[in-house]
Amino acid sequence: MHYPGAPELLRPASLKFILLTLVSGLLLNLLPWYGLTLSFRPDFVALVLLFWAIHEPRKLGFAAAWIAGLMMDIGDGVILGQHAFAYTLGVYVAIMLHRRIQRFTLWQQASHVLLLLFLLQTTMLIIRLFGGGVFPGPGYFLSCLTGAMLWPALSLLFLLPQRGRPDSDSVYSAGNKGL
């Protein structure tokens, strides 16, 4: 029987797949969102980075988070380093907590992710306030909520290639039946 937090045996994620998800995250972020949809837009890049920081902390480097952050800085037209700093911070906290977060069910994980995304948004807010910006209103934090809601779906999707169909004579196949 599968129970919440059961250590599930997964294949290691391939680097190609990680890169693919990261590029799709960038693409989704760069879609022409505007107005109300923009404030609801979850930060897909942050979600992807957090996911891999939690599930493959050895494969996703800080460098990837930093470069993706710089690309988002250019894409959004903000000061260089804003997203880069926030993403590296988020990845660091996620890597520190990854063993703990992995044990929870998807929705419980989502609540952790909500806090992590909130941390990211707050970091960027503080950076902008130091730069002389004005707080744009509580709607600024809406994207954390939508991001956390997406987490379970995103986890199922991203774990799909690692689950795969085990070999009939693989030692893992027996334990995977109940899933």
Partner 1 sequence: MDHQAPPFFKHGPSPLARFVFFASISLVLMLLDARLNALDSLRQIISVAVAPLQRLAMTPAELLDRTGNFFVTQERLQNENAMLSQRQLVQAAQLQRMQAMQAENEHLRKILSVQQRRGESVVAAEIIYTGRDPFSQKITVDKGSTHKVQAGQPALDDIGVIGQVTQVYPFSSEITLLTDKDQAIPVEIVRNGARAIAFGHGQDGALELPFMAANADIQNGDTLVTSGIDGVYPAGLPVGVVSKIERNATFAKITCTPSAGVNRHKQVLILIGEVRRFRKPELNPAGAGTTGGKTPASRKRRP
Phi-psi region of 32 (alpha: psi -120 to 50; beta: other; left: phi over 0): beta
Assess 84 for contact with partner 1 (CB under 8 A). yes
Assess 82 for contact with partner 1 (CB under 8 A). yes
DSSP helix, strand, coil percent of the chain (3-state; round to 5): 70, 0, 30
Which of 17, 40, 62, 118 touches partner 1 by CB under 8 A?
Answer: 62
Q: What mask, x for binding partner 1 by CB under 8 A, covers residues 24 to 43?
A: --xxx-xxxxxx--xx----
The 8-class DSSP code of residue 172 comes to: T
Which of 40, 97, 133, 166 touches partner 1 by CB under 8 A?
Answer: 133
Distance CA 146, CA 151 (A): 9
Report CA Rg, the chain. 17
Residues of span 95-114 touching partner 1 by CB under 8 A: 95-96
The 8-class DSSP code of residue 78 comes to: -
Q: Contact positions toward partner 1, by CB under 8 A? A: 23, 26-28, 30-35, 38-39, 57-58, 61-63, 65-66, 69-71, 73-82, 84-85, 88-89, 91-92, 95-96, 127-128, 131-134, 136-137, 140
